[in-house]
Structure 1
Amino acid sequence: MTVQDTDPAEFTRQWEEWHARREAALTDPHGFLAVTSLRWLDAEPTRFPDAPGAWSTGDDGVVVELADGERLTVDGTEVSGRHAFGVLPERSGVNAVAGRAVVEVARRGGHDILRPRHPDNALRLEHPATPAYAPDPRWAVTGRYVPFDTPRAVTVGAAVEGLQHVYDAPGQVEFELEGATYRLSAFNGAAPGSLHVLFTDATSGVTTYAANRSVSIAAPDDSGRVLIDFNRATNLPCAYTDLATCPLPPDGNRLPVAVEAGERIPHERLTTTG
C-alpha cells in the first residue's frame, strides 16, 4: 500500500502523533529549549554563571576544575575536584548532571563547547507549539536512492558564522515534484541504513525557517525505493535559538518549488524578527 492509498483520516492521525512526539522531545526538561548559553572553550580555565566549575580544553581534551562543594555526576558517578572528559570525537557529547541542570560537553566543527541546560529556562517554559502545514499525502513522495561508488565527504556551513561541518554523504535521493525530477544529497541517519536530508525550498524565509529544514528517510528497500515525506520536514534547533551550531544544507539542496509541508517558522522567530 502506498501513502496515497492510506485513509486520509489515518494519515492525519499518524502525523499528529508524530508531531506530538516532536514537541515532547523539544520541550523535554533538558531538551534544546533548555539551553541557556553556548560557551566556546579554550586553554584558559573559565567559570560561567550557569554551570559549576572552571572549564578549559587543550590537546588532552576538556577539563573542569570543581571548587569545594561543587559536584557533577558523569556517567552515573559523582565527581569533584579536577575531572577530565578526554578528547571528544566530532559531533559527540557528554552530559554532566548538576542538580536539576545538565551540562552538555560537546565537540562541534573542531571546537569544544559547553551548553548548560536548565529546565526553568524561559524559552522552554514559554514555548508555544511549533506551527506546521496541515498534513497532505501528496507531499509524501516515493523516490529512489542513488548511492555513490564511495561515500563523499561534504563540507557545509553552520548556523554559527565561520563554523563548518563535514559529513559523509553515501548518496542522493531522486524524486519528482510537480512534474520535475530532483536529486538531493543525503547524509547517514540515526538508524542503520536510514538517511536524512537537509534542504531549503521556495518557502524558506517566507513561511518556513530560512536556513534549513531536515527530513528523515527510512532505509531504502531492496530495489532502492525510499519514501520522502515532506509532511515530516522538521526545524533544526537553530530555528528556535541562536545557541545552536546546526549545519546548513549542502550546495545543490535548494528546491525551486514551494514545499508547503512540514514545520513552519517557530513562534519564537516570528516574535523576535517581527
Structure 2
Amino acid sequence: MTLTLLDWRRRVATLYADVRAAEDPESGWALWRTGRDALLGSHPDSPLDAAARSGFTGVPMAPYDPALRFDAPVDTDVEPLQLGVPTGEGGLVLHRIGRVTLGDVGRLDVWWTGGYGGGVFLPLRDGSAGTTTYGGGRYLLDTVKSADLGGTGGRLVVDLNFAYHPSCTYDPQWTCPLAPEGNRVPTVVTAGEQLPASGSWY
C-alpha cells in the first residue's frame, strides 16, 4: 500500500500542476475531471472498493461556471483558533490562519494543517450538503496532498468548480476532517463533484 499511495500522491501532484499550467481555467478543470475519474476508477488506492471501481463511469459533475472562480486575498486579521480533528491516523490539528471572501457564497476560514510539512486546508459545506453533495461537505484546497490551484502575494486561487468529495464519501471505512463552523454556508453551490443519482457510493 505504501508505494501505491506514493504513486497516487505523485499523480495528484502532476494533475494539479497540469491544471495550473493550463491555457485557461475551464480547460484545466476538464483535465482535472478526467484525471480524477481515472484515479478513482482504476488506481489501487482509490477510496472506491473493488466492486464499486468495476462499475465506475465517473463522478457526476456540475457544468463549469467561470463566475465561481476567485483570486481571493487571504484576510489574516482573524482570532487564532486551533481545532483537533479525529482521523483514522490518530488525529489532525487545524490552525486558522485567515479567511477568504468568495462573492455571494460568503466568507470561509482558511486553515493550516499541523504536523510534518503542513499545508493549507479549505473545506466547504454549502447548502447542497446532504442532498446533491456529501453531508459532511467537500474540499476546495488541501495543499499537503497537492490539491493546490495557485495564488501569489497573500492570495489564493479558489475555484468552486474544483470542489471534490473527501474519501469518506466513497467508503465509510475512511475518516475525513470535515468542514468546521467557519466553513459552512447556507448558499447552495451548484459546482464541482455531485453525488450519484442513488445518493450514495455504497
TM-score, normalised to structure 2, is 0.70
Q: Distance in 2 between matches of 1:193 and 1:155?
A: 14
Fraction of identical pairs, as percent: 24
Q: Which residue of 2 aligns with 1:254?
A: 184
Q: Distance in 2 between matches of 1:166 and 1:176?
A: 26
What do residues 171-197 of structure 1 show as CA deviations (whole Å, max 9, x unaligned)?
12321322x7413232349xx896231
Query: Residue type matched to 1:133 in 2?
Result: A
Query: Residue type matched to 2:174 in 1?
Result: A
Task: Rate the CA distance shift 1:33–1:156 in 2: closer, same or farther, 3 A.
Answer: closer
Q: Which residue of 1 aligns with 2:97?
A: 171
Q: Which residue of 2 aligns with 1:144?
A: 73
Q: CA deviation at 1:271?
A: 6.5
Task: Rate the CA distance shift 1:250–1:156 in 2: closer, same or farther, 3 A.
Answer: farther
Q: Does 1:184 find its partner at 2:129?
A: no
Q: Which residue of 1 aligns with 2:169?
A: 239
Q: Distance in 1 between matches of 2:151 and 2:80?
A: 16
Q: CA deviation at 1:148?
A: 6.9
The SS at the match of 1:259 is coil
Q: Distance in 2 between matches of 1:219 and 1:15?
A: 14
Query: Residue type matched to 1:168 in 2?
Result: L
Gaps of 5+ in 2: 1-22, 142-147
2:60·2:196 contact (CA, 8 Å) conserved in 1? yes
Please identify which structure carries the higher strand content. Answer: 1
Q: Which residue of 2 aligns with 1:78?
A: none
Q: CA deviation at 1:34?
A: 5.4
Q: CA deviation at 1:153?
A: 3.0
Q: Which residue of 2 aligns with 1:229?
A: 159
Q: Does 1:214 find its partner at 2:139?
A: yes
Query: Residue type matched to 2:43 in 1?
Result: P
Query: Residue type matched to 2:94 in 1?
Result: D
Q: Distance in 1 between matches of 2:94 and 2:128?
A: 27
Q: Distance in 1 between matches of 2:197 and 2:140?
A: 20
2:59·2:193 contact (CA, 8 Å) conserved in 1? yes
Q: Which residue of 1 aligns with 2:5?
A: none
Task: Rate the CA distance shift 1:231–1:206 in 2: closer, same or farther, 3 A.
Answer: same
TM-score, normalised to structure 1, is 0.54
The two structures, once aligned, show a CA RMSD in angstroms of 3.2
Q: Which residue of 2 aligns with 1:15?
A: 29
Q: Which residue of 1 aligns with 2:125?
A: 200
Query: Residue type matched to 2:160 in 1?
Result: F
Q: Distance in 2 between matches of 1:166 and 1:193?
A: 10
2:41·2:57 contact (CA, 8 Å) conserved in 1? no
Q: Distance in 1 between matches of 2:175 and 2:60?
A: 22
2:169·2:201 contact (CA, 8 Å) conserved in 1? no
Query: Residue type matched to 2:97 in 1?
Result: G
Q: CA deviation at 1:144?
A: 1.4
Q: CA deviation at 1:25?
A: 1.8
The SS at the match of 1:20 is helix
Pick aligned residue for 1:154 from 65, 79, 83:
83
Equivalences for residues 53-202 of structure 1 within 5 A? 121-147=50-76, 152-156=81-85, 165-178=91-104, 181-188=106-113, 195-202=120-127
Q: Distance in 2 between matches of 1:205 and 1:25?
A: 25
Q: Distance in 2 between matches of 1:185 and 1:241?
A: 26
What do residues 26-70 of structure 1 show as CA deviations (whole Å, max 9, x unaligned)?
2233123455xxxxxxxxxxxxxxxxxxxxxxxxxxxxxxxxxxx
Q: Distance in 2 between matches of 1:137 and 1:128?
A: 25
The SS at the match of 2:37 is helix
Structure of higher RCO (CA pairs closer than 8 Å, 6+ residues apart): 2
